[in-house]
């Protein structure tokens, strides 16, 4: 039996990234046995189960059942559950994706047991050190054995940070692999009743900086209300945001269609036929590029600057939303410029790097080096 590698699935945005690797592994000659480990961070059908099915993935083989609680609680309990699992079922490598708490927890637990870690989506930086995701991604990069970067500039920065050349690989963007794979099926999905292609915008908001304080959320809702007078907005509301809306007693503005969190295919179906998207999501900024869709990112910075350079994405404060939508409706928009390696083949590149690494662990003959045994030299 080829050695096991454990893929950590914690939250919704992990799934399209891991799916790209799992589908590429399924199409390659078998050299490892992938096992999906679900930490439990997102766990219901709307945020997890339905996405597995939409991405053509089977249910996870291992479920750790860790959900609820703050950052420290989730991270600590997930580390303990991973360590328990790996004390009896030790994989040859652990793959963690993105920047959620489960990603950090699994990476630390693995490295403390001297298990190599591959970070899928390594090297992203927004330099906002108050963002939980920025803390997680920097910490995970610092201890990862293999670092799979989405583009060449990001890989170059990891090398400049001192990571070994054989550890870093610019594999491309796994979100684009998954999007391209499902796009025909997504486009065939019915739009929510009342929406017609090309006549609405999409809104997604869930970052703590935008929704966790009454002042920030009120300012955002005011801008959204004004924007919706020009273009109706469809708003699939993230559970965190729903919770804050009801805690603060805020209503969804007129002209905005509230929707539950959508399945992956339904969401991409909605996005692919929209006029624009306003968001604070990382993945949506990338998907907008692939769909050549104007994206207004309601944040002061982005860890995905290539999407700014490619012309589809713009950063702005919430107050700038109405004017920015007016400009888009008046025809002020750039066509997406190409981004090298965002071509649907990131999974294949990860598989090649992984095969070389596992080969070097199993057969540490000089010819198979430079991979160091067990992790970073």
Which sign, positive or negative, has the C-alpha torsion 308, 312, 318, 320?
A: positive
Residue of 85, 224, 284, 296 that binds ligand UDP (CB under 6 A)? 284
Q: Is 269 near ligand UDP (CB under 6 A)? A: no
CB of 311 to ligand UDP, least distance (A): 20
Question: Binders of ligand UDP among 223-242, rule CB under 6 A?
Answer: 236
Q: Which stretch binds ligand UDP (CB under 6 A): 105-113, 115-123, 141-149, 278-286?
A: 278-286
Residue 193 vs 367, nearer CB to ligand UDP: 193
40: left (phi over 0), alpha (psi -120 to 50) or beta: left
Q: Which stretch binds ligand UDP (CB under 6 A): 88-96, 120-128, 190-198, 276-284?
A: 276-284
Residue 85 vs 291, nearer CB to ligand UDP: 291
Question: Binders of ligand UDP among 313-332, rule CB under 6 A?
Answer: none
Residue of 148, 200, 267, 342 that binds ligand UDP (CB under 6 A)? 267
Q: Is 262 near ligand UDP (CB under 6 A)? A: yes
Q: Tokens for 258, please give them.
A: 């509230």
Distance of CA 48 to the CA centre of its chain: 13
Residue 64 DSSP symbol: -
The rounded distance, in Å, linking the Cα atoms of 271 and 101 is: 27
Q: Which stretch binds ligand UDP (CB under 6 A): 102-110, 145-153, 190-198, 283-291?
A: 283-291
Residue 93 vs 262, nearer CB to ligand UDP: 262
Residue 12 vs 38, nearer CB to ligand UDP: 12
The rounded distance, in Å, linking the Cα atoms of 16 and 179 is: 8
Residue 159 vs 259, nearer CB to ligand UDP: 259
Q: Is 50 near ligand UDP (CB under 6 A)? A: no
Residue of 75, 154, 272, 281 that binds ligand UDP (CB under 6 A)? 281
CB of 2 to ligand UDP, least distance (A): 30
Q: Which stretch binds ligand UDP (CB under 6 A): 73-81, 180-188, 214-222, 256-264?
A: 256-264
Q: Is 14 near ligand UDP (CB under 6 A)? A: no
Judging by DSSP bridges, how do beta strands 233-236 and 295-297 pair with one another?
unpaired
From the list 156, 165, 166, 91, the residue with the least C-alpha distance to 125 is 156
Exposed e or buried b per residue across 155-188, where buried means at least 16 C-beta atoms within 10 angstroms of its C-beta: bebbeeeebeebbbbbbbbbbbbbbebbbeebee
Q: Which of 163, 206, 238, 353 is catalytic?
A: 206
Residue 60 vs 269, nearer CB to ligand UDP: 269
Residues in Cβ contact with 301 at an 8 Å cutoff, skipping those fewer than 6 apart? 126, 127, 128, 315
In the residue annotation, 206 being an active-site residue is answered as yes
Q: How big is the CA angle at 231 (ends 230 and 232), to the nearest 5 degrees?
A: 130
Looking from the CA of 17 toward its CB, the CA atoms found within 13 Å total: 30
**225 touches 255 (CB < 8 A):** yes
CB of 145 to ligand UDP, least distance (A): 23
Q: What is the dihedral of CA 223, 224, 227, 230, to 10 degrees?
A: -150
Q: Is 201 near ligand UDP (CB under 6 A)? A: no
Q: Is 110 near ligand UDP (CB under 6 A)? A: no
The rounded distance, in Å, linking the Cα atoms of 116 and 95 is: 9
Q: Which residues bind ligand UDP (CB under 6 A)?
A: 12-13, 16, 204, 236, 261-262, 264, 267-268, 281-284, 287
Residues carrying an active site annotation = 206
């Amino acid at each position: 039996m080829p050695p096991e590698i454990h893929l950590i699935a914690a939250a919704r945005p992990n799934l399209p990234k891991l799916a790209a690797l799992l589908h590429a592994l399924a199409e390659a000659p078998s050299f490892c046995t992938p096992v999906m480990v679900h930490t439990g961070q997102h766990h219901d059908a709307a945020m997890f189960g339905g996405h597995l099915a939409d991405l053509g993935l089977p249910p996870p083989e291992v479920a750790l059942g860790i959900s609820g609680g703050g950052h420290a609680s989730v991270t600590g309990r997930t580390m303990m559950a991973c360590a328990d699992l790996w004390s009896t079922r030790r994989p040859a490598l652990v793959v963690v994706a993105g920047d959620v708490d489960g990603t950090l927890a699994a990476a630390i637990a693995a490295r403390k047991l001297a298990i190599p870690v591959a970070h899928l989506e390594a090297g992203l930086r927004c330099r906002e050190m108050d963002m939980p995701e920025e803390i997680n991604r920097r910490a995970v990069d610092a201890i990862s054995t293999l670092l799979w970067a989405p583009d060449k500039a990001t890989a170059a920065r990891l090398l400049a940070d001192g990571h070994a050349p054989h550890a870093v690989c610019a594999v491309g963007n796994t979100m684009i692999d998954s999007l391209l794979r499902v796009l025909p099926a997504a486009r065939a999905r019915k739009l929510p009743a009342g929406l017609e292609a090309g006549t609405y915008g999409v809104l997604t908001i869930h970052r703590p900086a935008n929704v966790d304080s009454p002042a920030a959320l009120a300012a955002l809702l005011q801008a959204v209300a004004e924007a919706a007078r020009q273009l109706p907005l469809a708003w699939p509301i993230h559970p965190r945001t729903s919770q804050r809306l009801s805690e603060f007693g805020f209503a969804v503005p007129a002209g905005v269609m509230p929707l539950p969190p959508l399945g992956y295919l339904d969401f991409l179906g909605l996005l692919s036929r929209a006029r624009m998207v306003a968001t604070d999501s990382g993945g949506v900024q990338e998907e907008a590029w692939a769909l050549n869709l104007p994206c207004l990112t309601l944040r002061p910075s982005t860890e995905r600057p290539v999407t700014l350079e490619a012309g589809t994405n713009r950063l702005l404060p919430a107050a700038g939303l109405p004017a920015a939508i007016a400009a888009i409706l008046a025809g002020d928009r750039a066509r997406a410029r190409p981004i090298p390696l965002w071509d649907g083949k990131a999974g294949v590149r990860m598989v090649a790097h992984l095969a070389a690494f596992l080969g070097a662990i199993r057969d540490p003959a000089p010819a198979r080096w430079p991979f160091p045994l067990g992790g970073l030299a």
